Structure 1
Amino acid sequence: MGERIVHDRVAVPFSGPGGGTAPLSWGQKSILQDMRNSEWTYNISGAHHLPEGLTVADVAERLGRLMSKHPALRTRIGTDEDGEPCQVVHESGEIELEVMTFADHLDRTDAVDHGNRLWLKWMATPLAEHTPWPLRMGVMEYRGEAVYMVLTMGHLVVDGVGALVLMTDLGLGELVGRPVDPDAVRLADLARREATPQARRISERAMRYWEGHLRSLPPFTFGGSGAPDYEAGRRCRNVRFQSPAAHLAVVELARRTRTDTGRVLLAVIATAIARTTGVDPLTLHLAAGNRFRPGLADVIGSLVQNAVLTLDLDGTVDDVIAQARQATTSALMHAYYDPDQLAELAERLDVERGYPARITCRINDRRFSTRTRSDAAVGAPRMTEDEIRARQPETSVKWHKFVYRWTDQLFVNIEDHADTVYLQVVSDMDVFPAERVEALLYAVEELAIEAAFHADVPTGVQPRAAVAGTASG
């Protein structure tokens, strides 16, 4: 289709307040560390239908207003006098809007299909290869009308919720119509605030909490002879799992235990991990958004940091859910900290215990709109176990190719898909061969269904040696 698409670029000038230099915020340090470790872009990317009647000139005008209003979008990463990374906010500049004009004889759906392919490509492409700014915008033009938009943003200046807040200025996204705080702290100002004594005390309290979880760690969460720092395409593989039955069971389990679906999913996934690996207790990272903190709800910036929690996984599934309810609260309360201070703590503990240790298991609940819907479904009519099991034939597992360099042995994303438990798992195949990963995923479904209707379901965790013996046989 390439010869039937005309590619062009429109220069869009902008200017706005907030220029200057600031240190990196704690959230920026966290995501920069992940980017360097994994060599992945971490771009936030998507595609959106545009309101009827818009022209390319209209979209360019909106892009200029967006850049002018938000200093985070005018930010570049630089180096300070000490050679450390810093953020530099520019007051003015120019950004290019990428325009793809489709021949009149094509169908409107061709433009939409092209945009859907494009946002996936842009997600995996470093922004610096195409623009000096942390935002890249493309518009599909068809018969004189701007019909579809591709928007990609750098994770160093925005996280998932921040992106949705930002998009309200474009009249797009799930938060359109929700009031946004016009006085929300700017990202550079947040970084300056995090350097104050008051913020340092918050980080110091977090370090005392973290130390209790890090002191007795093994070298790697799931053992293994080599660190999961490997070349792309060799040991790291991606699999997607969908289960409408598990979704219905999680809702019933949340209803029975009077718990939200997030903590139920955490407990069930952690139990499934322990059942298939024998690792008990399990210390893991949990992604924390930090937007519940005063004044941070509408910040245009990246606030996500790792929380840490430890779960004892013997007893029953109900026991683990009760633990998850309490442990998650404590973990999230201590997930706002200076990553440099955490690195210093980890280095000190490595020396004290006599070997380096890392947490290599992470769970990230990425649900936004569907999490609220799932929690609300607890009030819907009850379902029976037979009704839920009738949906099990719809469960699917789809393996994908080996992917980019990674640093976790197991990374479980709970994706934002309606009416299903949709898990995307990235795993180190040296520790998690395909059969073990699939056993883990199906255990999530089975544990949820069993525990939804019975309060005494055992976790089924066996010692690691027994699990390893079974796997090798």
Structure 2
Amino acid sequence: MIVDFAGPGSGTAPLTWGQAAIWQAIGNTAPDDHYFNFGRVLKVPGTRSVEDVTAALRALVERHGALRTRLDDQGQRLEGSGRLPVVISREKPDIVLDELAATRFDYWAEWPIRVALVVDGSAVTHVVLVFCHLAADGIGAEAAIRDLRMLLLRGALTGPPPPQALDLAHWQAGPEGRAVAERAAAHWAEEYARIPTTMFAKPGPEPSDPPIWRAQLSSPALDLAVRSLALTHRASTSTVLLAAVAFLAARVEGHGTCAVLPIVANRFRRDTIGLVSTMSMEGLFTVDVEGTFAEVLGRAGPAALRAYRSAYHDPADRDRIVARESSGRGERVHPNCCFNDMRFADPGPAACEPSALESALKETALTWPMSQHELNCRFCVHVTTEGVSLTADTRFLSKPDIERYLMNLESMLVSAVRT
């Protein structure tokens, strides 16, 4: 079916920094850029008809301009009105989600959100939403889901309107935004001058077909060890994991300094609260890895803070810095090493009994949930509530090496707790 909408505001603007960054990644991953599609399933509260739910969807799209914005020659265009296709399905929500996310978006012609209603008789049981990453990141999608839930419960939302992506784009292009961007650029320039040309330069002996593979490690023991180390070293669990990932990544090719691109939410300003847009961007984390893991972890905290600040940057500034450094070295400089902690909350530090750690090791499992032909990175670690995964290009890190890396990550963290 079709949902007609007519919301406030229209016009054009440059891409925001977050949009420009993800657009580069999409271009480097095409035609496999459906990799960046992601979705949410909302269980509908109470008993709601199709008409009830489509009315809430209409209000959602009218409220958040990013959901009615597409690419155009100026960068992006916010439309004041339009027609949103909605699929009606009786399949299981997870199946519908996979089907909606399986194909790449038409960034110029298609609305940046796909919607399906799962029905049982005349009632809608679930709403399935798939987002284009140009329109939202994980936190932006959660803001949309929260508003949709409230629209279903109350029929309307009160309070001031949420911030809009077009307003953010204009701010970033103005004097205040440029001042922020220049501070971030200074960090990128300083650190790019000292990092390795890339973390993974040596072709591996066993490339697979397709070359991109993901291994998923489910390890309760790793989770316990990380929380215990966070307590001992007065760090967040994310910092512990980032330090561990960097420590082992550097050892693959024997680098003394590791450069990692952590994905940072960039929602530090008040005008980003409730903003449906893509704000997450790469920061630049650099750390010297000489010495023990405990020593590297001690250096990781300040380095992580600098990396998080550098993530709110103008990709055009970063491109100039990369081009300048690459020209000086005679080859492209890029870490090709990413870290993405996708958890919405840090579980926090916690003590761990040795017996619990030993018992948890028996539950470790490793699977291979994904493969594809193209990716914009050679090595990318994702952290979720389900575990730690490594997506890598087997032309530089073979499948056995991917598995070995994840198992070494677990054993190193567990050993660090034991000692």
Partner secondary structure for residue 50 of structure 1: strand
Residue pairs, 1:104-253, within 5 angstroms: 111=91, 113=92, 115-128=93-106, 132-171=110-149, 182-224=160-202, 233-253=209-229
1:98 is matched with: 87
Q: How far did 1:130 drift?
A: 12
| Whole-Å separation in 2 of the counterparts to 1:401 and 1:306 | 23
Unaligned runs of 5+ in 1: 1-9, 81-85, 103-110, 455-473
Q: How far did 1:96 drift?
A: 1.9
Q: How far did 1:55 drift?
A: 1.0
From 280, 283, 302, give the equivalent of 2:259: 283
Alignment root-mean-square deviation, CA: 2.4
1:428 is matched with: 393
Per-residue CA deviations over 1:174-199 (Å, capped at 9, x if unaligned) read xx9xx998454310010011111221
How many pairs are equivalent? 410
From 350, 354, 358, give the equivalent of 1:385: 354
Residue identity (%): 27
| Whole-Å separation in 2 of the counterparts to 1:148 and 1:130 | 28
| Whole-Å separation in 2 of the counterparts to 1:169 and 1:400 | 32
Change (3 A) 1:442 1:180: farther
| Whole-Å separation in 2 of the counterparts to 1:435 and 1:233 | 14
| Whole-Å separation in 2 of the counterparts to 1:60 and 1:153 | 17
2:379 is matched with: 410
Answering whether residue 271 of structure 2 is matched by residue 295 of structure 1, we say: yes
| Whole-Å separation in 2 of the counterparts to 1:277 and 1:442 | 18
Contact 1:241 1:396 in 2 (8 A): yes
Which of the pair has more CA radius of gyration? 1
Per-residue CA deviations over 1:212-249 (Å, capped at 9, x if unaligned) read 221244443221259xxx9x953211111110011011
Change (3 A) 1:401 1:199: closer
Residue pairs, 1:256-267, within 5 angstroms: 256-267=232-243
Contact 2:70 2:108 in 1 (8 A): no
Answering whether residue 21 of structure 2 is matched by residue 34 of structure 1, we say: no
Per-residue CA deviations over 1:157-176 (Å, capped at 9, x if unaligned) read 11100110111121179xx9
Partner secondary structure for residue 45 of structure 2: coil
| Whole-Å separation in 2 of the counterparts to 1:305 and 1:180 | 31
Residue pairs, 1:391-402, within 5 angstroms: 391-400=360-369, 402=371
Contact 1:12 1:95 in 2 (8 A): yes
From 258, 277, 287, give the equivalent of 1:311: 287
TM-score (norm 1): 0.82
Change (3 A) 1:194 1:180: farther
Contact 2:199 2:249 in 1 (8 A): no
Change (3 A) 1:416 1:383: closer
Unaligned runs of 5+ in 2: none
Q: How far did 1:18 drift?
A: 1.8
1:346 is matched with: 322
Per-residue CA deviations over 1:103-159 (Å, capped at 9, x if unaligned) read xxxxxxxx4x3x211212322312339972111110111121111221111111111
| Whole-Å separation in 2 of the counterparts to 1:224 and 1:121 | 37
Per-residue CA deviations over 1:309-328 (Å, capped at 9, x if unaligned) read 11111222221222111101
Answering whether residue 43 of structure 2 is matched by residue 67 of structure 1, we say: no
Change (3 A) 1:285 1:180: farther
From 9, 14, 19, give the equivalent of 1:18: 9
From 295, 301, 319, give the equivalent of 1:325: 301
Answering whether residue 358 of structure 2 is matched by residue 365 of structure 1, we say: no
1:468 is matched with: none
Partner secondary structure for residue 136 of structure 2: coil
TM-score (norm 2): 0.92
Amino acid at match of 2:220: P
Contact 1:49 1:147 in 2 (8 A): yes
Partner secondary structure for residue 99 of structure 1: strand
Amino acid at match of 1:18: G
| Whole-Å separation in 2 of the counterparts to 1:90 and 1:307 | 32
Partner secondary structure for residue 210 of structure 1: helix
Partner secondary structure for residue 224 of structure 1: coil
